[in-house]
């Protein structure tokens, strides 16, 4: 049976607010949490981007919900050995309720360390090697690694959970989905693609969990909600590879000027009609997703949680 979680937006909210929303999500009946991992927001208008590992530590004490990063890039900005330590500590703090979501990242977050942004094929190679390193370190053994992309010299993790955290991999193209099926413990996608779910299963992911997520905007009327989406997430209407390649929020703002309100809100249910929200979420259920995560765009968080607790989650179940 599909479970339903809340997607915490690190781009929109400061760390204290994210912890507060995690509590509200649990009270409203959501069963798990996603949290984004960014150095920059997509737009200055979004306004935030706290360090995700500190926030996860606070959430671990504030709720009993499972937490997945959606997603961490263990390639450039932070070495995979350090991500391995952060994930292991998070798994201990949460009592084994932490899942490490990984992906090949965006220049927006990673260029701050190295202005050279590797092409997609190379980033997939880097991710496969990074996953290998992290799993080696979670064994508790002394690790020395001399690889194509990374070196590790006599490193050992001393703080480890009883079981290594599962690694879920994000993928939006054939090669990345197939790699996820081969090396990951689960798959992450932000669109209701039955094709990608099937490809993941066919590539070695049969029986492994699949997580999906979407952004919504509850408001008293649909027009207000659409305006909020267009103001905060016009990037949803930007097509192609720009999301992986552009290095600064101002570049996304320049492209976003060409995105209409309709294009920005196309994939996000807006307004107070529960049927609109249910229809969008059920697309993920029908596509074979095991877990679906919902993120409320904007500041009307209490109203959103009340709406979902009373009008949406009961009908999904």
Q: Which residues are catalytic?
A: 38, 106
- Rounded Cα distance between 156 and 144, Å, is 9
Bridge partners, 7 (sequence order): 34
Q: Which residues contact 312 (CB under 8 A, 6 or more apart)?
A: 274, 277, 278, 281
Which stretches of the chain are assigned E, i.e. beta strand? 3-8, 33-35, 67-69, 98-102, 143-146, 151-155, 167-170, 186-189, 210-216, 291-296
CA-CA-CA-CA dihedral for 122, 124, 126, 128, to nearest 10? -150
Cα 130 to Cα 102, 126, 283: the distances in Å are 10, 6, 33
Is the CB of residue 30 less than 8 Å from the CB of residue 307? no
DSSP 8-state class, residue 165:
P
Return the closest-CA partner of residue 7 out of 58, 61, 54, 71: 71
- Rounded Cα distance between 106 and 62, Å, is 30
- Rounded Cα distance between 86 and 135, Å, is 13
Is the CB of residue 128 less than 8 Å from the CB of residue 169? no
């Amino acid at each position: 049976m599909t479970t339903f979680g809340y997607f915490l937006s690190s781009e929109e909210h400061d760390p204290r607010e994210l912890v507060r929303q995690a509590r509200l999500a649990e009270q409203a009946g959501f069963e798990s949490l996603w949290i984004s991992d960014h150095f920059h927001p997509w737009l200055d208008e979004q306004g935030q981007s706290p360090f995700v590992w500190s926030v996860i530590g606070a959430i671990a004490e504030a709720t009993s919900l499972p937490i997945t990063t959606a997603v961490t890039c263990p390639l450039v900005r932070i070495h995979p050995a350090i991500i391995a330590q952060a994930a292991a500590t998070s798994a201990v703090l949460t009592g084994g309720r932490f899942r490490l979501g990984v992906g090949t990242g965006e220049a927006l977050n990673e260029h701050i360390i190295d202005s050279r942004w590797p092409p997609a094929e190379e980033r997939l190679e880097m991710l496969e090697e990074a996953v290998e390193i992290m799993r080696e370190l979670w064994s508790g053994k002394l690790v020395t690694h001399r690889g194509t992309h990374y070196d590790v010299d006599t490193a050992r993790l001393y703080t480890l959970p009883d079981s290594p955290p599962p690694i879920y991999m994000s993928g939006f193209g054939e090669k990345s989905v197939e790699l996820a099926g081969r090396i990951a413990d689960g798959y992450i996608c932000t669109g209701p693609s039955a094709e990608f779910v099937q490809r993941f299963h066919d590539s070695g992911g049969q029986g492994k969990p699949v997580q999906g997520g979407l952004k919504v905007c509850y408001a008293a009327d649909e027009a207000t909600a659409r305006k909020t989406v267009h103001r905060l997430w016009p990037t949803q209407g930007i097509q192609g590879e720009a999301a992986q390649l552009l290095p600064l929020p101002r570049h996304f703002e320049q492209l976003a000027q060409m995105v209409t309100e309709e294009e920005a809100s196309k994939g996000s249910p807006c307004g107070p009609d529960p049927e609109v929200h249910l229809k969008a979420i059920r697309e993920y259920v029908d596509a074979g997703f095991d877990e679906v995560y919902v993120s409320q765009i904007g500041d009307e968080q209490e109203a959103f949680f009340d709406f979902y607790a009373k009008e949406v989650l009961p009908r999904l179940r």
